[in-house]
Structure 1
Amino acid sequence: MIYESVEYPSACEACGAVTECSGAQVLLDDGLRWDVASSCPGCGQAFIACGRADIPADLRDRLLTEHGPTRLEIVDRSANSALLMKALRAELAGGLHQAKEMLQRVRAGGHTGTLPEVELLARRLCEAGIQARAGRP
């Protein structure tokens, strides 16, 4: 299990008191999961949300600020570009243009994200025969 988590203060929507929130993104069973939770010490209101779809942008931003970005590294710099682009296109579920842009970013060492996001992509590339790993810049 690969994960990153963060704790941060927020105002309670019910009473306005400062409450402590927590959030996490986890790579579990070859898929990404996220969750956020808070509990107000003033009025007792609690909030929990989780999902498998895209992580909420504010949680992702907090994780990147707290932990810094993780970079996708291609171990074999001579890896076949067509194979790499095919694997990226399958993972992105996007078009050829998006895959070409991603290929350029990956080759230049410029594709970053949260640790769970990049680790998942590295694993998928390894499954496609491209040696890749997640690393901190």
Structure 2
Amino acid sequence: MECWGVQALVGDQLRWDVESTCSACGFAEAVCGGAGAMPAERRAQMLAEHGAAWLQVDPPSARSVTIMRVLRAELGIDLIEARATLHRVLDGDCSGTLPEMEHLARALRRAGISAAATRR
């Protein structure tokens, strides 16, 4: 079986799709996941194939309360998780797929925080 997958930012939404084809019988299937979280197995495959990206914030503009507010809104996490994620962001240790990190960077920039998704 051959599989292809993509995750992309479309407007302000993360979207993902997966297609697979059986090389023996030719059966093909497409799963359009739409907006929202990609299944963990597919996300792991994307990270393994393309590598991780990191969220970088510019320290002078890094206002913790604003960053936590954005993280809570965009990731749907509680205050405790937002605080832990904030520390990873400020330490330069917040990573994921490139579209995921760019999605967060855009949300942070809209909130006045200088942010970028980068590859190492």
Equivalent of residue 115 in structure 1, options 98, 107, 114: 98
- How far, CA to CA, are the matches of 1:83 and 1:26 in structure 2? 25
- How far, CA to CA, are the matches of 1:96 and 1:58 in structure 2? 27
Query: Following superposition, which runs of at least 4 residues in structure 1 exceed 3 angstroms of deviation?
Result: none
Aligned-residue offset at 1:132: 0.2
Aligned-residue offset at 1:94: 2.1
Instruction: Give the RMSD, CA atoms, in angstroms.
Output: 1.2
Aligned-residue offset at 1:84: 1.7
Aligned-residue offset at 1:88: 1.7
Equivalent of residue 64 in structure 1, options 31, 47, 52: 47
Could you tell me the percent identity over the aligned residues?
48
Structure 2: state its 5+ residue gaps.
none
| TM-score, normalised relative to structure 1 | 0.81
**Partner-residue secondary structure (3-state), 1:38:** strand
Matches within 5 A, 1:80-119: 80-119=63-102
Measured against aligned partners, the alpha-carbon deviations of 1:60-97 in whole angstroms (never above 9, x if no partner) come to 111101111000000x2132212222222222222211
Aligned-residue offset at 1:59: 1.3
Equivalent of residue 30 in structure 2, options 32, 42, 48: 48
Structure 1: state its 5+ residue gaps.
1-18
| TM-score, normalised relative to structure 2 | 0.91
- How far, CA to CA, are the matches of 2:59 and 2:37 in structure 1? 30
- How far, CA to CA, are the matches of 1:108 and 1:35 in structure 2? 32
| Between 53-62 and 99-108, the greater mean CA deviation after superposition | 53-62
Match of 1:39 in 2: 21
Q: Which has the larger radius of gyration?
A: 1
How many residue pairs get matched?
118
Equivalent of residue 10 in structure 2, options 28, 31, 47: 28
Measured against aligned partners, the alpha-carbon deviations of 1:81-116 in whole angstroms (never above 9, x if no partner) come to 122222222222222111110110000011000000
The structure that is helix-richer by fraction is 2
- How far, CA to CA, are the matches of 1:89 and 1:53 in structure 2? 15
